[in-house]
């Protein structure tokens, strides 16, 4: 006697609570990704607002040092920068920009180490760059090699 056994196929049902949890996790991930994209857009906008005008403010050659208040070679450069600023006022602009107070500027100006000094012409175009401690005489020699010769301000 042949038994007619019917094969019964049972479909495994996914519990609805697992579906709901999966949807919630998916939505949370979408919200997180959307917020990250918004934050990235805000950061890009902030970085683009750090323009050359911030660094190059006048129609004079600029000597700009990118560094930080805690960096030892930057501290050693401080008196040199102060002297240059005082002695060549009106002939060149001398600036110090703290990279930690101006996030995004390191990427904009491709700063890989501090201190980094950048020489800009009157139009704001980078014409030379140096990394590390830079003695005053060498800075003036670099300017001279770039075609600039400055006269020291007479002390009053």
Q: Give the catalytic positions in this structure.
A: 71, 74
Q: CB atoms < 10 A from the CB of 45, how many?
A: 9
Query: Which residue, chain included where needed, has tokens 């949370």?
Result: 28
Query: Between the CA atoms of 121, 122, 125 and 131, what dihedral angle is there, to the nearest 10 degrees?
Result: 40
* Contact status, residue 132 vs residue 115, Cβ threshold 8 Å: yes
The SS3 assignment for 66 reads: strand
Rg (CA), the chain: 30
CA angle 90, 49, 116 (to 5 degrees): 55
């Amino acid at each position: 006697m042949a038994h007619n056994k019917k094969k019964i196929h049972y479909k495994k049902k996914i519990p609805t609570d697992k579906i709901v949890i999966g949807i919630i996790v998916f939505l949370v991930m979408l919200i997180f990704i959307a917020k990250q994209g918004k934050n990235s857009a805000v950061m890009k906008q902030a970085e683009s607002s750090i323009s050359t005008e911030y660094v190059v403010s006048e129609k004079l050659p600029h000597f700009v040092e990118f560094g930080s208040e805690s960096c030892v070679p930057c501290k050693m450069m401080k008196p040199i920068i102060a002297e240059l600023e005082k002695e060549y006022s009106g002939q060149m602009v001398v600036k110090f920009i703290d990279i930690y107070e101006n996030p995004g500027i390191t990427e904009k100006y491709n700063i890989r180490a501090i201190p980094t000094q950048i020489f800009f012409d009157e139009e704001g175009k980078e014409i030379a760059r140096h990394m590390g401690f830079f003695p005053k005489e060498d800075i003036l020699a670099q300017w001279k090699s770039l075609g600039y010769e400055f006269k020291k301000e007479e002390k009053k």
